[in-house]
Amino acid sequence: MIKFFKIVSLLEGLSYILLLFIAVPIKYMQNNPEYVKMLGMPHGLLFVLYIVLAIMLKYELEWKGKDFFMVCLLSILPFGTFFVGKYLKK
């Protein structure tokens, strides 16, 4: 389950970076919302999957509230989910 969570966290982080730093600037600089539409749905699905897996792992691994909060916080920070694997090793 942790291996799957790490994969989802990397994909979620990648989709977030693409959305923030490629799709959104194109939307506002070139007045073209197509990339936001194209990347928004996969990112949203990956984000929901990330949170659901985090909740499942919270109970499976008996995380304390601080650990769960940190994993959730990393999901909303740009580049944050790339560090989830390192954080889980602690």
Q: Which residue has the higher pLDDT, 8 or 85?
A: 8
Q: How does pLDDT run across 33-49, given as a tens digit for each residue?
A: 999 999 999 999 999 99
Q: How many residues does the chain have?
A: 90
pLDDT at 86 over 90: no
Spell out where 1-90 has E strands: none
pLDDT at 84 over 80: yes
pTM of the model: 0.88
Q: Is the CB of residue 54 less than 8 Å from the CB of residue 71? A: yes
What is the pLDDT at residue 83?
85
What is the pLDDT at residue 15?
95
Residue 9 CB burial class (10 angstroms; 0-12, 13-18, ≥19)? buried
Percentage of residues in the chain with pLDDT exceeding 90?
Answer: 69
